Amino acid sequence: MKLSDYAKKVGVSYKTAHRWWKAGQLNGYQIPSTGTIIIESDNPTEKEQIALIYARVSSAEAKPNLDRQAIRLTDYSIARGYRIYKVDSAQCFNL
């Protein structure tokens, strides 16, 4: 879960939770591309949620956007605590 969500859940300010993370008191990691801090849950009763990332574009001109779209969707899913199952992409052209 995101650090901000963790702070709300335990009832502390974001700044306090950030200090705890910097001091190594929280188990988590930082997403390099966005800087988002993800706190890993210590609660084993939570069900793991998985995500299948599927990016697509509608024209050949937009093909370079596939990778950026997949990265953006992956970062979003990780920030929300999903485990990434697979990343796939495709083109859909209306002929």
Residues 67 and 94 in one domain: yes
The arithmetic mean of pLDDT across residues 2-17, rounded, is 91
Into how many domains does the chain fold?
Answer: 2
Same domain, 51 and 67: yes
Residue 48 near residue 83, CB atoms below 8 Å: yes
Residues 54 and 32 in one domain: no
pTM over 0.85: no
Domain containing 65 equals: 47-95
Same domain, 62 and 28: no
Q: Are residues 92 and 63 in the same domain?
A: yes
- Choose between 82 and 95: higher pLDDT: 82
Helix (H) or strand (E) holding 70: helix 65-79
Same domain, 26 and 57: no
Query: What's the pLDDT score for residue 50?
Result: 87
Q: Exposure pattern of 15-49 as b/e (b: 16+ CB <10 Å)?
A: eebbebbeeeebebeeeeeeebbbbeeeeeeeeee
Higher pLDDT, 80 or 13: 13
Residue 26 sits in the same domain as residue 58: no
Q: What is the pLDDT of residue 95?
A: 44
Per residue in 15-33, pLDDT tens? 999 999 999 989 989 998 8
Other C-beta atoms closer than 10 Å to the C-beta of 7 total 20
Shared domain check, 16 and 52? no
CA-based end-to-end distance of the chain: 43
